[in-house]
């Protein structure tokens, strides 16, 4: 044991071991060695006696949160023009805003605002879409690296069905730009990794998908995209890729749908049973984005069915389909949306519980990064120390009650301290 690199946090500790199990340890100790958890203890083990303890007695300590899906360039216009469905919203809002990132000065200004807010939030890890622009994407990566967060960033690929001002000339150009981006950023960052990002099937030609699959293989990159978000979009994919059996199959035909390729698909609101079978088989991650799905009238994803199948699920803010960065809020909304869905469809899928939503926002999404999102021994020490002094209560509450209240009140502004891999950000 190297005592210099040992960090001990004392407080009211909550973490998930699986979707049904919330561990709570009042006045416990979280021990981190070299950024890795050595475990949570009710009594400090002999070996650590005498070492400095960061004493947060009375405060909740929870794992850092993971935002599995968001669009960094859309942060500046969150909350505008929300009365449209996906395809109209993309054309009228998302695409014109993303086009601004051709301007490096605008990109730096806007991305600085985003990263500054993200750093203060409960999010310690995230997978982000940038735009198709190389310089702006590199600026985002630089800012995220400086922030100390653990992230994956994707230069977006899009070579069809987009306005001229935001479309790569052809598949060859899009692939060449991707290679150039990978080469320019190779080895430059420690905490900011590239992730291959075909925007979605409507915006990517077959030829582009083939070329991206080659790039994926040679660089061993993870992949992020969108799946089965909106009925109009799904019908369009069937026309564009007529040989596909369902939307997910249109990715699978090109070898970009899980298996050896770590893959995140955002939304999955309207997945067919065959589609879920394939995702389950291939270990495809679902980024559930309840707020975006409500804002863009996309629907309510059957998260209970995903969990019953033991599929891999995390939460996403999907800014600017979603309007707030808070993954606490995404937890609460995942429960609320599941309750509405249960009542309105009557399909027998039980609403999510607080424990399940907490799991989704911590270990569920965190596991895309390996051992992250929990305090079990061997996990990365990403931790939040929460301040409840603004929400005093006349009774003594249990840790689970306090956690539930914090989730429903979405206390991103009340975070006292934040650690990523044992590094203290504030
Ligand atoms: N599908 C393709 N692009 C987008 C996007 O920017 N946001 C959302 N919500 N869905 C998409
Ligand atoms: Fe999205």
The model's pLDDT over 355-365, given as tens digits with 9 standing for 90+, comes to 999 999 999 99
Tell me, yes or no, whether 54 and 128 share the same domain: no
The CA distance from 228 to 307, in Å, is 18
Ligand 1 atom at minimal distance to the Cα of residue 98: 6
Q: Label residue 4 by pLDDT band (50, 70, 90).
A: confident
**CB atoms near residue 218 (< 10 Å):** 9
Return the residue whose CA atom lies nearest to atom 3 of ligand 1: 199
* 398 Cα to the center of ligand 2, angstroms: 36
Tell me, yes or no, whether 52 and 116 share the same domain: no
Tell me, yes or no, whether 199 and 336 share the same domain: yes
* 153 Cα to the center of ligand 2, angstroms: 13
CA distances from 92 to 80, 86, 163, 171 (A): 11, 10, 10, 24
CB of 66 closer than 8 Å to CB of 124:
yes
Q: Read off the tokens for 111.
A: 């991305």
Return the residue whose CA atom lies nearest to atom 7 of ligand 1: 321
Q: Can you point out the beta strands (E) in 4-159?
A: 6-18, 21-33, 36-41, 54-63, 65-71, 123-129, 150-154, 156-157
Where does a domain end: 369, 390, 408? Answer: 369
Tell me, yes or no, whether 284 and 144 share the same domain: yes
State the residue range of the domain holding 318: 65-369
Tell me, yes or no, whether 256 and 298 share the same domain: yes
Tell me, yes or no, whether 244 and 355 share the same domain: yes
Ligand 1 pocket residues where CB is under 6 Å:
71, 86, 90, 94, 199-200, 226, 229, 292, 318, 321
Count up the domains in the chain and report the number.
2
pLDDT digits (tens, 9 = 90+) for 301-328: 999 999 999 999 999 999 999 999 999 9
Return the pLDDT at 1.
Answer: 63
* 297 Cα to the center of ligand 2, angstroms: 14
Q: Point out the ligand nearest to the CA of residue 88.
A: 1
pLDDT digits (tens, 9 = 90+) for 175-221: 999 999 999 999 999 999 999 999 999 999 999 999 999 999 999 99
* 162 Cα to the center of ligand 1, angstroms: 12
Q: Which residues contact 192 (CB under 8 A, 6 or more apart)?
A: 141, 144, 145, 151, 152, 153
pLDDT above 80 for 95: yes
pLDDT above 70 for 37: yes
- Mean pLDDT, range 330-337, rounded to an integer: 98
The CATH number for 344's domain is 3.20.20.140
The CATH number for 381's domain is 2.30.40.10
Mean pLDDT of the chain: 97
Strand order in the sheet with 263-267: 223-227, 263-267, 285-288, 312-315
pTM exceeds cut of 0.95? yes
* 333 Cα to the center of ligand 1, angstroms: 19
**DSSP 8-state class, residue 160:** S
Tell me, yes or no, whether 193 and 51 share the same domain: no
Q: Name the burial class of residue 106, with classes exposed (0-12), middle (13-18) and buried (19+) by CB atoms within 10 angstroms of its CB.
A: middle
Return the residue whose CA atom lies nearest to atom 9 of ligand 1: 321
- Mean pLDDT, range 285-302, rounded to an integer: 98
């Amino acid at each position: 044991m190297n005592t210099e690199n040992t960090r001990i946090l004392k407080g009211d500790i909550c973490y998930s071991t699986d979707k049904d199990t919330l561990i709570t340890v009042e006045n416990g100790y979280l021990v981190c060695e070299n950024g890795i958890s050595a475990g949570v203890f009710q009594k400090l083990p002999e070996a650590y006696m005498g070492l400095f303890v960061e004493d947060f007695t009375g405060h909740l300590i929870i794992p850092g949160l993971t935002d599995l899906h968001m669009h960094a360039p859309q942060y500046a216009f969150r909350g505008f023009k929300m009365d449209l469905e996906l395809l109209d919203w993309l054309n009228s809002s998302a695409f014109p805003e993303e086009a601004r990132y051709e301007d490096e000065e605008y990109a730096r200004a806007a991305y600085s605002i985003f990263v500054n807010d993200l750093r203060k939030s409960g999010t310690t890890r995230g997978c982000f879409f940038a735009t198709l622009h190389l310089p702006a994407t590199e600026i985002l990566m630089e800012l995220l690296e400086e922030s100390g967060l653990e992230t994956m960033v994707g230069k977006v690929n899009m070579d069809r069905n987009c306005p001229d001002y935001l479309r790569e000339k052809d598949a060859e150009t899009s692939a060449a730009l991707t290679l150039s981006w990978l080469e320019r950023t190779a080895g430059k960052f420690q905490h900011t990794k590239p992730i291959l990002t075909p925007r979605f099937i409507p915006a990517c030609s077959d030829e582009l998908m083939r070329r991206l699959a080659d790039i994926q293989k040679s660089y061993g990159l993870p992949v992020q995209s969108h799946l089965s978000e909106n009925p109009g979009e799904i019908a369009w994919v069937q026309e564009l890729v007529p040989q596909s059996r369902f939307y997910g199959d249109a990715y699978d035909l090109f070898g970009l749908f899980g298996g050896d390729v770590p893959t995140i698909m955002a939304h999955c609101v309207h997945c067919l049973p065959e589609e879920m079978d394939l995702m389950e088989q291939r270990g495809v991650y679902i980024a559930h984005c309840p707020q975006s799905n409500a804002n863009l009238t996309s629907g309510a994803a059957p998260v209970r069915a995903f969990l019953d199948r033991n599929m891999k699920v995390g939460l996403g803010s999907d800014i600017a389909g979603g309007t707030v960065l808070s993954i606490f809020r995404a937890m609460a909304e995942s429960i609320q949306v599941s309750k509405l869905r249960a009542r309105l469809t009557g399909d027998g899928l039980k609403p999510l519980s607080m424990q399940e939503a907490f799991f989704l926002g911590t270990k569920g999404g965190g596991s895309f990064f390996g051992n992250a999102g929990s305090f079990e021994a061997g996990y990365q020490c990403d931790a939040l120390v929460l301040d409840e002094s603004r929400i005093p209560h006349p009774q003594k509450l249990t840790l689970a009650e306090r956690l539930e209240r914090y989730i429903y009140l979405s206390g991103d502004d009340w975070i006292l301290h934040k650690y990523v891999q044992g590094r203290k950000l504030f």
